[in-house]
Chains A and B, each alone.
Chain A
């Protein structure tokens, strides 16, 4: 049952990306390219998503535990460190170059486009390379976000 809900969350997430226009890389670069013919759509995507999440997560975290799991697994760190800033900066450059971030790129795999496949393969290599170099697999399950178990 828990897996069914994870699957449905993934499906709805992909539909959200598609409906919002995020699966069209040009839509993303038209938002980021403020010097061109600016398309502010992505700002409204973020607004709709964050306000929904902000309200919903407050209500959900009042519960002692998730409906189908024993505990909440949430990032707990609040410190601003160098990897956070440098990593985000590198991520932004890649994102702005072609207009793809991980979610939309994975969803767009269904097009079978060569460039999407190249992007996802390179992304996977990048993620894997970082993990291997950083040896984080051994330490933290979610990329060093710092996990706390809320009980």
Chain B
């Protein structure tokens, strides 16, 4: 159970959009985290440095949150290690097979009104809702 937080949601959303725009404006790139991280894991010559710099930025941003806004990283993962592992595998395989995740399709793709991204977002929203509802109703919120 979490509270509806409209103001921080909008402000945070604006920051996400602004960060994605800055990557586009300065570097001409789409801010798709699965694409950036997946490409990083490919270790292709000449294509790894900018990806690692972006990921380092994410981690430094995380450290800043810990320092100045610790509530953002205050959470508890109630699920078993095997569930977390399965979820991670699905997210990893699925985001690469589907050419994107919540950032690449969800923010940049919807923002560009890309038909592929609209289909991707509708699809992962539907299966995401199904999974979250199933976890709650069938497994009592904890599997």
**Which A residues contact B (CB, under 8 angstroms)?**
2-3, 5-27, 29-30, 32-37, 39-54, 56-57, 60-61, 65-75, 77-80, 83-103, 105-111, 113-116, 118-131, 134, 136-137, 141-146, 150
Checking A10, A74, A83, A141 against B98 with a beta-carbon cut-off of 8 angstroms, the contacting residue is A83
Contact indicator B99/A90 (Cβ below 8 Å): no
Q: A45-B9, A50-B17, A54-B111 are in contact. Are A8 and B93 (CB under 8 A)?
A: no
Give Cα A6–Cα B15 distance, bound, in whole angstroms: 15
Contact indicator B17/A127 (Cβ below 8 Å): no
Contact indicator B124/A88 (Cβ below 8 Å): yes
Q: A46-B107, A66-B25, A88-B94 are in contact. Are A11 and B60 (CB under 8 A)?
A: yes
Q: A14-B62, A15-B65, A36-B136 are in contact. Are A93 and B128 (CB under 8 A)?
A: yes
Checking A123, A131, A145 against B104 with a beta-carbon cut-off of 8 angstroms, the contacting residue is A145
Checking A66, A77, A95, A143 against B26 with a beta-carbon cut-off of 8 angstroms, the contacting residue is A66
Majority-rule SS of A interface residues: helix
Residues of B within 8 A of A12 (CB): 15, 18-19, 22, 61
Q: How many residues of chain B get a CB closer than 8 Å to chain A's CBs?
A: 118
Give Cα A110–Cα B50 distance, bound, in whole angstroms: 20
Residues of A within 8 A of B58 (CB): 10-11, 13-14, 103, 106-107
Which residues 49-74 of B sit at the A interface, judged by CB distance below 8 A? 49-50, 53-66, 69, 72-74
30 A-B pairs with C-beta separation under 8 A: A5-B26, A6-B57, A10-B60, A11-B61, A21-B2, A21-B72, A22-B12, A37-B1, A39-B1, A44-B13, A48-B16, A50-B107, A52-B17, A53-B17, A84-B99, A92-B94, A92-B123, A92-B127, A97-B83, A102-B103, A103-B58, A105-B88, A106-B33, A124-B92, A127-B38, A127-B96, A131-B96, A142-B99, A143-B99, A146-B99
**Which B residues contact A (CB, under 8 angstroms)?**
1-6, 8-35, 37-39, 41-42, 44, 47, 49-50, 53-66, 69, 72-77, 79, 81, 83-116, 119-121, 123-133, 135-137, 143
For residue B65, which residue of chain A has the nearest CB?
A18
Checking A18, A72, A111 against B24 with a beta-carbon cut-off of 8 angstroms, the contacting residue is A72
Residues of A within 8 A of B73 (CB): 18, 23-24, 107-108, 110-111
Contact indicator A52/B124 (Cβ below 8 Å): no
Give Cα A127–Cα B12 distance, bound, in whole angstroms: 27
